[in-house]
Chain A
Amino acid sequence: MSTFVAKAGSSLGKKFITGITGFGLFVFIVTHLGGNLLLLVGPDAFNAYAHYLHTAMHGWFLHMARAGLSAFFLFHVVSGLAVYRDKLRARPERYEKMADAGGTSRKTLSSRTMAFSGLVILVFLVLHVAHFRFGPGLEQGYVTEVNGVEMRDLYRLVVEEFNKPVVVYAYVFVMLLMGMHVRHGFWSMFQSLGLARPNTVPTLSGMGLVFGVVLAVGFMLVPLYILYFIPPPSEAALAPGVLP
């Protein structure tokens, strides 16, 4: 019979990998949202949090988190897209007419667009990391001081970026898709890992909807608030006292 590795590549194995990595990514974005919301608290809180992540465990925390996340993303993308490829192969001739069965079905627009929403998240991720992680830092003068410690002024960079309407609307669009990804993904990961039971399916599915909405709205809140209520630092310098 098949080896352990072959089983990981089977139809059930692929979904196990999508599910377990999806869980990791879910935990990550919930944490990430928490960090983002510090932007609304103020520059020092946000910069200090970013600085803390960079210095925790002598910088090892961030190294490990990066390595872990990269691996999770890689496995998630590969297994998720493999499931999608199998789907395309499994029905070479399509139906002329297709309708939703309704009833107890969990099929939604979200569940049918997982590969699309996932790919958009992937493209976003590349731009996002390029913008913020590999964007301007200390050398370019994005420096601030919190409690006597000199650190990168990430807050300023974020506020500058989110004062560009195009960036904000693109971001909002991606977050909508991300919310949809979680709307189906959340309950789906429990089912994929074999954890769903008859009495828990409706609750899990409902929680998926709640998490999808909360995450999408939560992530949108920050850029929209910045765009409409926080002027870019250069303008702020001209009008002190505007900042919260």
Chain B
Amino acid sequence: MTTGETMTLHLKVWRQRGPDQPGALTPYTVTGVSPDMSFLEMLDLLNEQLIERNELPVEFDSDCREGICGTCGLVIDGIAHGPKRACTTCELRMRNYRDGDTITVEPFRARGFPVLKDLVVDRGAFDRIISKGGYISVNTGSAPEANTIPVPKYKTEAAMDAAICIGCGACVAACPNASAALFVGAKVSQFALLPQGHAERKVRVVRMVEQMDTEGFGACSNHGECEAVCPKKISITYIARMRREYFKAALAGV
């Protein structure tokens, strides 16, 4: 489609007034969608059209709108963050759709992610998991010299491939078991791979897994849907690494 042309799209959007209220997919038609818009800009446009008609706009989360903060997250036609690989909802462009398409938009669904309103879910569970060990305990002060502790390149790479997690929660949303194993696996691994994280590695993994279970996420059955929808393509072998860390901690009596 050449620039300048616009599309008319049919949406089925999950509307829910508040937590624990019944919700339903509601049909809307949005006009004047430019193929250059992002998915969220398309929803902005829908909201403008809804406001003009005196209807309540659709609530959804976003912040950076450039794929780095992890705030956005929708299940689009049954896939978390939509049909494109390694792509957040905010980066998904409407040029992936054609005039007249029907798109179903739902919130992330999991017991650990209760719906607050429409497409907005409470991902506080992730914050509580991080508060149990997603950090290293050091005295603050001036930053240490970067090369004081030498770390081999392949280790820093592996740690960075985990640390790239933006905590969006798509892994939970896509998992048939609503498991948070990829998120926690990435967070545990990024520290376990580096000397700075070594001192607390056993306590960290046990505490974070305990909190993950308390939040009501399911156990991981190794379907691997999480890796497939992850906007940062984080590998499920970080889940295997978390398990190794956990079993070692259990054997050590931590």
Instruction: Name A's B-contacting residues (CB within 8 A).
Output: 1-2, 4, 7-8, 10-16, 82-83, 86-87, 89-107, 111-112, 114, 184, 187-188, 190-198, 201
Contact = CB atoms under 8 A, between A and B. Distances in A.
A107 B229 CA distance: 12
A93 B218 contact: no
Interface in B13-37: 14, 25
Contacts of B221: 15, 83, 87, 111, 114, 188
13 contacts: A10-B210, A11-B212, A12-B219, A86-B219, A87-B176, A87-B178, A89-B216, A101-B229, A107-B225, A191-B222, A194-B241, A198-B235, A201-B236
A187 B221 CA distance: 11
B203 interface: yes
A191 B236 contact: yes
A11 B112 contact: no
Nearest to B212: A11
A83 B222 CA distance: 12
Contact of A1 (B115, B207, B236): B207
Contact of B177 (A10, A16, A87): A87
Given A1-B207, A4-B253, A90 B218 contact: yes
Given A1-B207, A94-B109, A106 B217 contact: no
Contacts of A1: 203, 206-207, 210, 254
A17 B230 CA distance: 28
A194 B25 contact: no
Contacts of A102: 228
Of B109, B176, B240, B246, which is in contact with the most chain A CB atoms at under 10 Å from its CB? B240
The 5 closest A-B pairs by CB, nearest first: A99-B78, A90-B218, A106-B224, A194-B243, A101-B228
Contacts of A97: 75, 77-78, 104, 106
Given A10-B210, A91-B177, 18 more contacts: A1-B254, A16-B247, A82-B219, A86-B177, A86-B218, A87-B219, A89-B111, A90-B217, A90-B218, A97-B75, A97-B77, A97-B78, A98-B78, A107-B176, A188-B222, A191-B243, A193-B243, A194-B240
